[in-house]
Structure 1
Amino acid sequence: MPQTNDLLAVLVDADNVSPSRIGAVLAEIAQYGTASVKRIYGDWTKSNLRSWKEPAADHVIQPIQQFDNTAGKNATDSALIIDAMDLLYTRRFQGFCIVSSDSDFTRLASRIREEGVTVYGFGERKTPEAFRNACDQFTYLDVLEESDTTDDEAPRTRVPGSKLRQDAKLVSSLRGAVETASDDDDGWARLGAVGQLMRKQHPDFDSRNWGYAKLSDLVKAVGLFALETTPTGIVVRNNGTAGKKR
Structure 2
Amino acid sequence: MLKIQEFFEICTGLWKTERTYHYVDRAEIERSFTEFRVTALTKAEKGQILALSEPNVLTTAPLQVDPQTWQTADEQFPGFAIAFQTRSETGETLSMSLKALFVPDIYALSAQETAALPQPVLPQVAEVPLASESDIIQGYYLRDEGYSEAGAIAGRFTYQPIRQTLEMTTYYQRSVAVDQMRIVAPDIRLRTILTYRRPLQPQEAPHQINLIGFGVEHRQPLSLG
Short-chain TM bin: under 0.3
Q: Comparing both structures, which one devotes a greater share of its residues to helix?
A: 1
**TM-score of the aligned structures, taking structure 1 as reference length:** 0.22
**TM-score of the aligned structures, taking structure 2 as reference length:** 0.23
Larger radius of gyration: 1
